[in-house]
């Protein structure tokens, strides 16, 4: 939906999953899926993040959406998905958290058979949402770019897309 609306405004647009860009590089070291990335040593994750940031920074579309996580849950604790060195490389203009209620997130994760997720409770999801807000607030402060939270409730994807379009000024 977002891509269609932006293209109608005669803008070039692309969407990139940060984790997928990292995984492409990690596959060279024998990593097979995205869920293995968070289990790598932090130093290796940092290296992969930097490589992905450098690749993304070279993109030239008018509008570039980077689909990423505010944090990665690791053995060491919550690790930022967008640490300062990544922000400095990609220089984002906006931070938009697309979220839902803890119940909706839990239900979506339980139905997602494409991922190898660790079990999680609704209370844990509430904690994750608080960490997400803190991480994104920090990104906004460090970069000087605005942050907006957009709710993507079940069956309301068009409303969420309109909110994103408004946030980026299109």
Span of 84-93, 99-108, 140-149 with lowest mean pLDDT: 99-108
Side-chain-facing half-sphere of 121: CA atoms under 13 Å: 3
Q: Is the pLDDT of residue 6 over 90?
A: yes
Question: What pLDDT digit, counting tens, does each position of 69-103 carry?
Answer: 999 988 889 999 999 999 999 999 999 999 999 99
Enumerate the β-bridge partners of residue 147: 95
pLDDT at 114: 78
- Return the SS3 of 99: strand
Q: Per DSSP, which regions of 55-167 are E strands?
A: 63-67, 71-74, 77-80, 95-99, 147-151
What's the pLDDT score for residue 119? 78
pLDDT, greater one: 20 or 75: 20
Residue ranges of E strands in 18-167: 63-67, 71-74, 77-80, 95-99, 147-151
Distance of CA 146 to the CA centre of its chain: 16
Query: In CATH, what number does 2-167 get?
Result: 3.40.50.300
Q: Which whole number is the average pLDDT over 121-136?
A: 96
pLDDT in tens, 38-69: 889 999 999 999 999 999 999 999 999 999 99
Closest CA to 29 of 18, 44, 42, 39: 44
What integer pLDDT is reported at residue 85 of this predicted model? 97
Write down the domain spans for the chain.
Answer: 2-167
Distance CA 8, CA 169 (A): 14
- Whole-number pLDDT of residue 128: 94
How high does pLDDT run on average in the chain? Answer: 93
């Amino acid at each position: 939906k977002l891509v269609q609306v932006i293209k109608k405004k005669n803008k070039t647009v692309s969407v990139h999953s940060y984790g997928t860009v990292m995984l492409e590089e990690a596959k060279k070291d024998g990593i097979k899926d995205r869920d293995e990335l968070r289990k790598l040593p932090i130093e290796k994750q940092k290296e992969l993040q930097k490589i992905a940031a450098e690749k993304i920074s070279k993109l030239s579309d008018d509008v570039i959406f980077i689909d990423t996580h505010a944090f990665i849950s690791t053995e060491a604790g919550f690790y930022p998905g967008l640490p300062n060195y990544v922000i400095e490389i990609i220089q984002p203009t906006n931070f938009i958290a697309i979220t839902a209620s803890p119940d909706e997130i839990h239900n979506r994760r339980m139905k997602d058979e494409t991922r190898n997720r660790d079990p999680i409770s609704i209370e844990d999801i509430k904690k994750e949402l608080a960490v997400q807000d803190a991480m994104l607030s920090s990104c906004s402060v460090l970069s000087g770019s605005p942050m907006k939270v957009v709710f993507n409730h079940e069956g309301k994807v068009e409303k969420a897309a309109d909110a994103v379009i408004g946030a980026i000024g299109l």
